[in-house]
């Protein structure tokens, strides 16, 4: 889902998978906010093949390009899924 809200373009990626527990979500957000080293975010092993590297790379590139850390929001609930919202400043 892609939409504009105020001065941002939001890109939401939503799944209905296993979701993240609060500890994993907090470690990820600490990494995104720059308050933790990259090595500190290692997702717990899951049934899937994801290790989070692709998501981290996308977020880091957006942060570098826009020179700001607040480019992602995460909503997640165990057994209900996860919503990643990229919040990109509107350039115009």
pLDDT of 49 reads 47
Tens digits of residue pLDDT in 67-82: 998 899 999 999 999 9
Query: Does residue 47 contact residue 33 with C-beta atoms inside 8 Å?
Result: no
Could you give the residue ranges of the DSSP H alpha helices within the chain?
Answer: 22-32, 53-66
Query: Does residue 3 contact residue 90 with C-beta atoms inside 8 Å?
Result: no
Give the position of tokens 């929001």. 73
At residue 52, φ and ψ (nearest 5 deg) are 85, -5
Q: How many C-beta atoms surround the C-beta of residue 27 within 10 A?
A: 18
Tens digits of residue pLDDT in 25-57: 888 888 787 765 555 555 555 555 456 678 888
Instruction: Quickly state the pLDDT bin for 87 (edges 50, 70, 90).
Output: very high
Query: Is the overall model pTM greater than 0.85, yes or no?
Result: no
């Amino acid at each position: 889902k892609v939409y504009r809200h105020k001065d941002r373009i939001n890109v939401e990626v939503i799944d209905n998978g296993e979701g993240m527990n609060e500890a994993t979500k907090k470690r990820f957000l600490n990494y995104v906010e720059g308050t933790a080293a990259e090595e500190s975010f290692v997702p717990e092993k899951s049934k899937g093949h994801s290790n989070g590297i692709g998501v981290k790379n996308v977020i880091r590139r957006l942060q570098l390009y826009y020179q700001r850390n607040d480019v992602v929001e995460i909503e997640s609930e165990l057994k209900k899924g996860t919503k990643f919202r990229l919040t990109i400043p509107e350039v115009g």
